[in-house]
Structure 1
């Protein structure tokens, strides 16, 4: 019996008790899905639910009395061995061995789709992440968003949501001008402007701009007046930098569905359309020669200038136009991932959302990520060999590889600062979390390989009642949690939950491996015990592979 099947059984019991009047409850309050979770202690059964505590007050009953009604009826469901009422009204449920063991076959037969659900079906979500300025390589903070954002997108999709990964290409504004001036200065052999960009990559791109012009038979930009030369370096340099960023993301396993250019908002009239909409809604006013959005009406600490007195658009003008554009493209939810230095940005963005008539934190969500610190030999790693002032995503990948980089960045809550020990992430030991999980998967493959060599095949027999050891019930309970963990990670926007779940599951598998054999010893005959354990082994392999896939990490067959 899967957790989903047990949940449905609980819902059926609830529905029947309401229908015959035993529980005086309005049928409309019966949840579509009754939550079941693993109890903290295995002594408390295989699964637990607090549904009685949730609904008892609505029925005008004590939670334990409500639970007693459910307990009596649930105990009659095939596959349920025992139901106990605990504490203020928890139901602790123990499945009979065969019903619990049947999960192994369910998982293997489901294969790659096991763990998926329709929890978020019907939701159209635009997920914007990384969005690094095209003025330098992706730094380590951007790498964290690449790992977290892509993992979250995979989990949202696994729960049935229609997800669009979007990269906001900041190709409009002062930072691009500083980038162009930096390229021109380096091409001339001069130091970068005080407010410009440094690092070897500036020299590399400046040389590439000149080489591209030469290949096209166009004059060297250094022969042009400075204003024209700067425009050449801007146009070609931004294109080269962005191509490098895209290539780095692709090598990191991150693909975007949409690359949206900030400059298009201003060129297409989208800013003016957003301003017109807000003016029609009565939230725009004129003062001191500028055009303002009255965001204080929606909780912001001050009103915001949209069009400055000199006629130029303020930065928020692009935000207004971009948000409206996403909503007009049909997205129900707009999720934006920002760095720690953008925390003060949330208030004005939520006010903007409300000004358009939307619901803050529902139609618009903002996730803030914290810093990443790299350590090697016990010392902080502070600068890139190429970028000069920061550590880049390429530096991290070069040091530990894509799998370790992605896993280590995604396994901690994004709103907490993390220290990554580069020495640890390259070790083939159990202290290295990505190795620990990947090794568990490789071990399942090796067990199956050895079993095949010794004539142990799943198709020859399966008796789930034989999975009666405590290590097997623990492992079964673990693999049954995948769909719930993925749904929770997607709903809470916390993909690290899947990584931590995989580490726990890997630990359960390693313990089971030490205590139960899949292959016969010596001249021992192959029996249904061996075949049934192979089903459990392969079910674990499926769950580990599916979970790693949601994190964008490979599931190696040999290590």
Structure 2
């Protein structure tokens, strides 16, 4: 069971409790679940009972009890416990969990770079406008990519004639100049300006580092555009993300030389034994939600931070148990599962970088 699956299960329990008049509260659009923190119990936790307690005019623990009764025996959930003032804690069922892991890894493999794309914004035409400033142009371009990945038709306009150097950054503008209609209908993108032109940044940093440097900070923060973006070391988040992707590709090449792939019915069965693997799998499973949130909030920086988290988790996982056999060791089901997870992480990294307009080379 993925975090998204668990969130859906909890949401169904809330809706059932409301339908049965056991709970008088509005049904939320989404229920948040997260990994249990140190000192907690189970695999995942949710504060949904605390959120519903006020509208329901009930103590949070009573709301939690109502929801626990309606989740007992749900597929994939082994145990539901209540802690503190009303937190729900979930322990997943191991056999069902293995099947869910396999299904998730299969889904990532099948969907490829489109994994995480959806239709949350389908049928919602959007228009964004920005000043003749490079950071605003690059953020608008990334927002265009994100909302299109969620099914929305989108149009970008610049208040003045675009800078020709923007094309070197992959930026396109559909129209320029203002009209009264555009002023009322266009959502404005107004980040803190970069303080340099596109040409100046490109000459010093190149397109990938320039885009990452402009997109990684939140729009209300100043972008750091120094030589640290070119450092070939894991302290540089851009290098970390791209290096993690290139390592996943190297693992696939190494497996092919050893004569095995990630395919197989047993893939997914070993993940539950490894905390680092579970942490990486959870981030892979959260990728669709991360893309949807970045599109909804018009915030490419959210996607950049998600990719950094995936990269860190990948290296933790890789250092714990390599997907490739050592010495004379024969490839096993465990190696195929680890390889499938590494390849899924690589797909998430490549797909996310593509939406940010940053390249993901197979060698670095």
TM-score scaled by structure 2?
Answer: 0.90
User: Conserved in 2, the CA contact under 8 Å of 1:114 and 1:546?
Assistant: yes
Q: What is the deviation of 1:477? A: 1.2
SS at match of 1:510: helix
- Cα deviation per residue 1:122-162 (whole Å; 9 max; x = unaligned)? 32210113x42xxxxxxxxx222222221122222223322
Q: What is the deviation of 1:508? A: 0.7
Q: What is the deviation of 1:99? A: 5.0
SS at match of 1:418: coil
Q: Which residue of 2 aligns with 1:120?
A: 121
Larger Rg: 1
Within the candidate set 333, 341, 348, 1:528 is matched to 333
Rounded Cα–Cα distance in structure 1 between residues aligned with 2:38 and 2:294: 23
Residue 260 (structure 1) aligned with residue 176 (structure 2): yes
Rounded Cα–Cα distance in structure 2 between residues aligned with 1:125 and 1:60: 39
Aligned residue pair count: 359
Rounded Cα–Cα distance in structure 2 between residues aligned with 1:114 and 1:42: 33
Q: Which residue of 2 aligns with 1:160?
A: 151
Q: Which residue of 2 aligns with 1:2?
A: 2
SS at match of 1:82: strand
User: Conserved in 2, the CA contact under 8 Å of 1:35 and 1:51?
Assistant: yes
Within-5 A mapping of 1:343-362: none
Q: What is the deviation of 1:75? A: 4.2
Within-5 A mapping of 1:216-235: none
SS at match of 1:111: helix
Q: Which residue of 2 aligns with 1:437?
A: 241
Q: Which residue of 1 aligns with 2:24?
A: 25
Within-5 A mapping of 1:392-411: 392-411=197-216
Q: Which residue of 2 aligns with 1:509?
A: 314
Rounded Cα–Cα distance in structure 2 between residues aligned with 1:453 and 1:124: 48
Q: Which residue of 2 aligns with 1:49?
A: 46
Residue 335 (structure 1) aligned with residue 187 (structure 2): yes
Residue 323 (structure 1) aligned with residue 183 (structure 2): yes
SS at match of 1:25: coil
Rounded Cα–Cα distance in structure 2 between residues aligned with 1:121 and 1:50: 30
User: Conserved in 2, the CA contact under 8 Å of 1:79 and 1:98?
Assistant: no
Q: What is the deviation of 1:404? A: 0.9
Q: Any stretches of 5+ residues in structure 1 without a counterpart?
A: 133-141, 171-241, 266-319, 328-333, 338-367, 374-390
SS at match of 2:112: helix
SS at match of 1:412: coil
SS at match of 2:53: helix
User: Conserved in 2, the CA contact under 8 Å of 1:116 and 1:159?
Assistant: yes
Rounded Cα–Cα distance in structure 2 between residues aligned with 1:449 and 1:15: 47
Distance 1:372 1:169, change over 3 A: closer
Distance 1:545 1:45, change over 3 A: farther
Q: What is the deviation of 1:11? A: 2.3
Rounded Cα–Cα distance in structure 2 between residues aligned with 1:470 and 1:122: 41
User: Conserved in 2, the CA contact under 8 Å of 1:100 and 1:476?
Assistant: no
Distance 1:43 1:335, change over 3 A: same
User: Conserved in 1, the CA contact under 8 Å of 2:262 and 2:336?
Assistant: yes
Rounded Cα–Cα distance in structure 1 between residues aligned with 2:298 and 2:83: 31
Q: Which residue of 2 aligns with 1:144?
A: 135
Q: Which residue of 1 aligns with 2:342?
A: 537
Rounded Cα–Cα distance in structure 2 between residues aligned with 1:47 and 1:152: 31
Distance 1:465 1:71, change over 3 A: farther
Within-5 A mapping of 1:87-102: 87-95=84-92, 96=94, 97-99=97-99, 101-102=101-102
Q: What is the deviation of 1:489? A: 2.1
User: Conserved in 1, the CA contact under 8 Å of 2:263 and 2:340?
Assistant: no
Q: What is the deviation of 1:438? A: 0.3
Rounded Cα–Cα distance in structure 2 between residues aligned with 1:83 and 1:106: 27
User: Conserved in 2, the CA contact under 8 Å of 1:147 and 1:407?
Assistant: no
- Cα deviation per residue 1:337-391 (whole Å; 9 max; x = unaligned)? 2xxxxxxxxxxxxxxxxxxxxxxxxxxxxxx322436xxxxxxxxxxxxxxxxx4
Q: Which residue of 2 aligns with 1:71?
A: 68
Rounded Cα–Cα distance in structure 2 between residues aligned with 1:74 and 1:164: 44
SS at match of 1:464: coil
Within the candidate set 277, 281, 302, 1:476 is matched to 281
Rounded Cα–Cα distance in structure 1 between residues aligned with 2:42 and 2:142: 32
- Cα deviation per residue 1:307-360 (whole Å; 9 max; x = unaligned)? xxxxxxxxxxxxx35335xx4xxxxxx2112xxxxxxxxxxxxxxxxxxxxxxx
Residue 488 (structure 1) aligned with residue 293 (structure 2): yes
Q: Which residue of 1 aligns with 2:363?
A: 558
SS at match of 1:127: strand
SS at match of 1:480: helix
Q: Any stretches of 5+ residues in structure 2 without a counterpart?
A: none
Q: What is the deviation of 1:30? A: 1.9
Rounded Cα–Cα distance in structure 2 between residues aligned with 1:397 and 1:519: 39
Q: Which residue of 2 aligns with 1:372?
A: 194
User: Conserved in 2, the CA contact under 8 Å of 1:124 and 1:161?
Assistant: yes
Q: What is the deviation of 1:556? A: 1.1
Rounded Cα–Cα distance in structure 2 between residues aligned with 1:486 and 1:121: 14
